Amino acid sequence: MPFYQRLGDLPRKRHIVHRDNGTLLTEEVMGFEGFSGLESILYHLQSPCRVIALGEFEPIVRTEWVPDAHAHRHLRTWDVPPAGDAVTGRQLLMWNNDVEISLCRPTELMEGFFRNGERDEVVFVHEGTGVVETVFGDVPYKNGDYIVLPRGTTYRFAPADESEQRYLVFETPGLITIPKRYRNEHGQLMEHAPYYHRDIHPPTELRTHRDKGEFVVKVRVRDGYQTYVIDYHPFDVVGWDGYVYPWTFSIHDFEPITGRIHMPPPSHQTFAGPNFVICSFCPRKLDFDPEAIPIPYHHSNLQSEEMIYYVDGNFSSRKGIELGSVTLHPTGLPHGPQPGLAEKSLGMTETHEYAVMCDTFNPLRLTALASDLDDGKYMYSWAEDATTGNGRTPDDDPAGITSHF
Ligand SMILES: [Fe+2]
């Protein structure tokens, strides 16, 4: 999607004869908005519709947790039990009609192939290296990568041997895009954007498979999973071109923006979705005015929910927060630095934290998994009296770090 790309063998023009060893190839236009949106054109050895058997339709079941009280939440996700593969292992944490946010710690290899037929996906790789094998070619990934998988992309995760895998997964019925304000009218990323086209990595190598057999493809459709068996390898493409394809962007390539006084969260925006944004918080110099308070002012998210996933940083000096911690600051409540923290922050010159934030403009619903991971204490961590509510001191609680955002 970020720019025009091509791989493999293509004919001179669209919609003309293209052969492989004398065999006429099957041209597939994969696109959005009828025939008006972004598209790619793929040339298959065989029709991609060669279904020989239908499996069961498996509806998606979500177990909602409706908390007794509306409050800030801190979920400890690091020890969530590993399960399944890169798709079946997704454990839904929170969702609304615009986005689903899941944890995934896969331990199994995908037996078949997967295609999300109704959602774009962003897979943030907290831990793990490997390759996503796709119909568009290989997409290598490593720690810190966001893997963007447009709907319609048939894929299979192939983790590197012995590589621990830990993902944060976003799925949306809308389109994942690069924020419009980063691009000029021609689509090029402008000088003020926090990343450039060279930071975006499309598929590296197209592998054309020529195997007959029985290949299981699971497709997410109609809020469930439908399994199909086809009689030819789904990665039978000899060439493709266009604007629709999977790609990666590393959080380590996000160029943070620093101001003389505090810069607001939109300066950290990485992706846009319908009614939500995904932001990257990266190591950076802090605000440099002699009188600047380098951590945020309190803010009330009157029309948004703020979910932050803690990735890495100087957590040893900040008790309470952990790798994989998730905080949720829901609609209608103010939040900010704990008492005393603004004073403590004066003179700080840099931060070394990494975090991924998702702000949604509609309320998020929580799952039973979120209930299991909820620490039940975070909402009290701003109280001036350290013994109020939970008996912990401000330094023991995570508001200090997450309220930086
Ligand atoms: Fe915030």
Q: Is residue 273 assigned to a domain?
A: yes
Is 75 domain-assigned?
A: no
Please tell me the distance between residue 354's alpha carbon and the centre of ligand 1 in angstroms.
15
Q: Which domain holds residue 317?
A: 251-402
Residue 134, domain member (yes or no): no
Strand partners, 103: 91, 168
Mean pLDDT of all residues belonging to the chain = 92
Cα 263 to middle of ligand 1, angstroms = 12
CA of 250 to the centre of ligand 1 (A): 23
Q: pLDDT tens, 209-237?
A: 999 999 999 999 999 999 999 999 999 99
Percent pLDDT > 70 in the chain is: 92
Q: How far is the CA of 230 from the centre of ligand 1 (A)?
A: 48
Q: How far is the CA of 204 from the centre of ligand 1 (A)?
A: 37
Residues, Cβ < 5 Å to ion ligand 1? 306
What are the angstrom distances between the C-alpha of 18 and each of 31, 44, 234, 238? Answer: 20, 10, 19, 10
Domain count along the chain: 1
65 in a domain, yes or no? no
Per-residue pLDDT band for 390 (boundaries 50, 70, 90) equals very low
Residue 383 lies inside a defined structural domain of this protein: yes
Amino acid sitting at position 228? Y
Greater confidence (104 vs 404) lies with 104
For residue 157, how far is its CA from the centre of ligand 1 (angstroms)? Answer: 34
Taking the centre of ligand 1 as the mean of its atom positions, its distance from the CA of residue 62, in whole angstroms, is: 27
* 46 CA to centre of ligand 1 in angstroms: 51
Q: Choose among 278, 387, 307, 303: nearest CA to 95.
A: 307
Ligand 1 center from residue 214 Cα (angstroms): 50
Residue 119 to residue 247: CA distance in whole angstroms:
16
pLDDT confidence band for 340 (50 / 70 / 90) = confident
Query: What's 398's domain CATH number?
Result: 2.60.120.10
**Model confidence pLDDT, tens digit, residues 109-167:** 999 999 999 999 999 999 999 999 999 999 999 999 999 999 999 999 999 988 899 99
Q: Decide if 52 is inside a domain.
A: no
Kindly give the distance from the C-alpha atom of residue 403 to the centroid of ligand 1, in angstroms, as a whole number.
6
Report the distance separating Cα 404 and Cα 402, nearest Å: 5
DSSP lists the bridge partners of residue 60 as: none
Show the tokens assigned to 321. 């927060």
Judge whether residue 317 has pLDDT over 50: no
